Structure 1
């Protein structure tokens, strides 16, 4: 996957250029970025591509968010609560 496919709107690139960006702001940008990916794309490959392409410091808030995205890939979603979760 090339960088134009992995970051089609340049959201991740722009987040690295915002001085003093917070972790919460990066999470919001990450959500927008994830929703802008093509439907059949591999999210994990896209995350790896932007991490390699932008080569940003590991302590940058966006790098932290992207690393969380990689580490949580294999987790199973939690059960929904309420009557929807108990419905057969």
Structure 2
């Protein structure tokens, strides 16, 4: 995948350039990144491309861990709330 499609705003790229960045900041950037993907873009494919491009040499970087976590964790299933009926 082309990096202009995988990281359209360069958010992932910039996260790797920030010295001392931590996991919480990377998670926040990750959310912004996910929201910036064009409709129809496969997020998993984009994560794999970004990880291969930016994280290949830095597997211990917090963003590498966030991207890897995003690829290995199952998507969260929203909890269903039962409707309360007052009759």
TM range (shorter): 0.7 to 0.9
Q: Secondary structure at the match of 2:79?
A: coil
Report the TM-score, using the length of structure 2 for normalisation. 0.87
Alignment-derived partner of residue 16 in structure 1: 16
Query: For residues 7-53 of structure 1, what are the alpha-carbon distances to aligned partners after superposition, in whole Å with 9 as ceiling and x for unaligned?
Result: 00000000000000011000000000000001211000000000111
Residues 54-73 of structure 1 aligned to structure 2 (within 5 Å): 54=54, 55-72=56-73
Stretches of structure 2 that go unaligned for 5 or more consecutive residues are: none
Q: Which range moved further: 48-57 or 31-40? A: 48-57
Q: Secondary structure at the match of 2:12?
A: helix
Report the TM-score, using the length of structure 1 for normalisation. 0.86
- Higher helix proportion: 1
Contact (CA 8 Å) 1:16, 1:56: kept in 2 or not? no
Larger Rg: 2
Q: Secondary structure at the match of 1:86?
A: coil
Contact (CA 8 Å) 1:23, 1:62: kept in 2 or not? yes
Alignment-derived partner of residue 87 in structure 1: 83
After TM superposition, give the deviation of residue 75 of structure 1 in Å.
Answer: 4.0
Stretches of structure 1 that go unaligned for 5 or more consecutive residues are: none
